[in-house]
Amino acid sequence: SLSDRLGTVFDRLRGRGALSEQDVRDAMREVRVALLEADVALPVARDFIARVTERAIGQEVLKSVTPGQMVVKIVNDELVAMLGGEEAVGKGPMGEGEALNLSVAPPAVVMMVGLQGSGKTTSTAKIAKLLKDKQGKKPLMASLDVNRPAAQEQLAVLGEQAGVATLPIVAGQQPVDIARRALGAAKLQNFDVLLLDTAGRLHVDEALMAEMKAVASVSTPAEVLLVVDSLTGQDAVNVAQSFSDEVPLTGVVLTRMDGDARGGAALSMRAVTGKPIKFAGTGEKLDAIERFHPARVADRILGMGDVVSLVERAAETIKAEDAEDLAKRMMAGKFDLNDLRKQLKQMQNMGGLGMLAGMMPGMKKAKAAMASSGMDDKVLVHMDAIIGSMTEKERARPELLNAKRKKRVAAGSGTSVQEVNKILKMHQEMGRAMKQIKKMGGLKGLGALLG
């Protein structure tokens, strides 16, 4: 596996510090093999490696992981980003993030394009069913496939299974005419979405592209989805390039993700079209469709999920070590306003010491008070400004802050003396909390709490 290979590359490297250019280049040779094995198209793999190399050189290696593991984490993160980023995947049934954009005057036309056998007809029915069941839409489907015998009947059968209407079949009509008739029917019968299932060919050819262009120009689709078999592999680039040259693609549907494909086509599609992968087909049944998850696919490509979570855990450990350092400072009575400021910053970032803050009776109260009074991140920014307006001496020795100095700090930070007092009170409460912890058995007790 990639992890074994990288292990060998980095065996000689036991030192810590930053990743050197040579380390990274050696590692990238292995990553490249892994990408090609996962069927990522060659030019895409090359580009990807260049990006990762740039990011990785000079990167600090976390304590308790090896440089090889560090590289894998960087590769993974970049892969997820290039696949569209996990945060783009919405949480709703269709996903909010990059779901279909149907906010046009109805009927919103969704045109499905792709090679023969890629899964267009099946995906058309799957998406129509999703729209009907999860979004309360009233979709109409129409097959423009006049090449393959019984292609139009196939869609009609799926429509019946899905409970979605299909345009009645009229023998002898050409694709553009069917598209026009479908539009008319949709308008007349108040369908809000019209899905056009187009014909495919075994290979990209001029006749097919001309047909796609003509259909797009009469139907002005809101979405043009390129349907690609995830097993397409190296050919994915050519297919994606040809279609995206001729029709304005808005997204990709990757089918047969339930098979043994390693997901390389996903990276190629995204890189070549620059369009989001909106859905993944995961079986033949009509509900076997889901939002595309970059993190899951990145794991399929690299097969490195374990290493990625290992590095994430190591990063967590370091945060915990920071928290322990802070606790030590507090115990030694060295916790001053500089420390509080750092703590507030961490709270802003929602991680790290926030965990410790939640445990501290003083901070817990302060946090609850903030929440109940509708205080939010803006307040944290205010607090930061207040501490920032103090002199270094005042931060180290808050007792210096008399009424006159408080006034100056309030003016300097654009806040009020009342707010300055609030911060000082919070600091005092934390001090008191420390004493309580000391009574509970000091750092050992705290350690137990920290787990």
Of 282, 317, 338, 416, the one binding ligand GDP by CB under 6 A: 282
Binding flag, residue 118, Mg ion (CB under 5 A):
no
DSSP 222: S
Burial class (CB in 10 A: 0-12, 13-18, 19+), 202: exposed
Binding flag, residue 175, ligand GDP (CB under 6 A):
no
Would residue 340 be called left, alpha or beta, if left means φ above 0 and alpha means ψ between -120 and 50 degrees?
alpha
Binding flag, residue 278, ligand GDP (CB under 6 A):
no
x/- mask, ligand GDP, residues 389-428, rule CB under 6 A, reads: ----------------------------------------
Binding flag, residue 255, ligand GDP (CB under 6 A):
yes
In one-letter notation, the amino acid at residue 215 is V
With tokens 């996990």, the residue in question is 86
Instruction: Identify which range of 4-12, 118-126, 328-336, 414-422 contacts ligand GDP by CB under 6 A.
Output: 118-126
Binding flag, residue 287, ligand GDP (CB under 6 A):
no
Do 230 and 261 meet the contact criterion of CB atoms below 8 Å apart?
yes
Size of interface with Mg ion, in residues (CB under 5 A)? 2
| Close Cβ partners of 51 (under 8 Å, ≥ 6 residues apart) | 78, 82
Query: Which of 172, 196, 203 is CA-nearest to residue 182?
Result: 196
| Close Cβ partners of 262 (under 8 Å, ≥ 6 residues apart) | 37, 38, 39, 300, 301, 303
Instruction: Identify which range of 132-140, 256-264, 356-364, 432-440 contacts ligand GDP by CB under 6 A.
Output: 256-264
Binding flag, residue 121, Mg ion (CB under 5 A):
yes
Backbone angles phi, psi at 322, to 5 degrees: -60, -45
Distance CA 279, CA 95 (A): 10
Size of interface with ligand GDP, in residues (CB under 6 A)? 19
Query: Which of 198, 277, 273 is CA-nearest to residue 238?
Result: 273
Instruction: Identify which range of 86-94, 121-129, 166-174, 243-251 contacts Mg ion by CB under 5 A.
Output: 121-129
Nearer to Mg ion, 3 or 121 (CB): 121
Nearer to ligand GDP, 282 or 389 (CB): 282
Do 236 and 268 meet the contact criterion of CB atoms below 8 Å apart?
yes
Binding flag, residue 413, Mg ion (CB under 5 A):
no
Q: Binds 4, which of Mg ion, ligand GDP, none (CB < 5 to 8 A, cut-off by type)?
A: none
Q: Binds 116, which of Mg ion, ligand GDP, none (CB < 5 to 8 A, cut-off by type)?
A: ligand GDP
Residue nearest to Mg ion (CB): 121
Q: Would you give the end-to-end CA distance of the chain in angstroms?
A: 34
Binding flag, residue 119, ligand GDP (CB under 6 A):
yes
Binding flag, residue 124, Mg ion (CB under 5 A):
no
**H or E stretch covering 166:** strand 165-166
Q: Binds 163, which of Mg ion, ligand GDP, none (CB < 5 to 8 A, cut-off by type)?
A: none
Nearer to ligand GDP, 47 or 133 (CB): 133
Binding flag, residue 316, ligand GDP (CB under 6 A):
no
The encoded tokens of residue 106 equal 């109805």
Query: Which of 261, 259, 265, 262 is CA-nearest to residue 301?
Result: 262
Binding flag, residue 325, ligand GDP (CB under 6 A):
no
Residue nearest to ligand GDP (CB): 281
Of 21, 54, 96, 258, the one binding ligand GDP by CB under 6 A: 258
Do 266 and 292 meet the contact criterion of CB atoms below 8 Å apart?
yes
Q: Least distance in Å: CB of 115 to ligand GDP? A: 7
Beta bridge partners of 305: none
Binding flag, residue 117, ligand GDP (CB under 6 A):
yes
Q: Binds 76, which of ligand GDP, Mg ion, none (CB < 5 to 8 A, cut-off by type)?
A: none
Q: Least distance in Å: CB of 99 to Mg ion? A: 23
**H or E stretch covering 277:** strand 277-281
Helices marked H in 38-167: 42-56, 67-82, 120-135, 151-162
Nearer to ligand GDP, 230 or 415 (CB): 230
Q: Binds 37, which of ligand GDP, Mg ion, none (CB < 5 to 8 A, cut-off by type)?
A: none
- The binding site consists of 114-121, 197-201, 255-258
Question: What is the separation of C-alpha 66 from the centre of its chain, rounded to a whole number of angstroms?
Answer: 26
Of 120, 262, 422, 427, the one binding ligand GDP by CB under 6 A: 120
- Neighbour order of strands in the sheet with 108-113: 165-166, 139-143, 193-197, 108-113, 223-229, 251-255, 277-281, 289-291
Do 286 and 121 meet the contact criterion of CB atoms below 8 Å apart?
no
Q: Least distance in Å: CB of 284 to ligand GDP? A: 4
Nearer to ligand GDP, 153 or 376 (CB): 153
Nearer to Mg ion, 120 or 382 (CB): 120
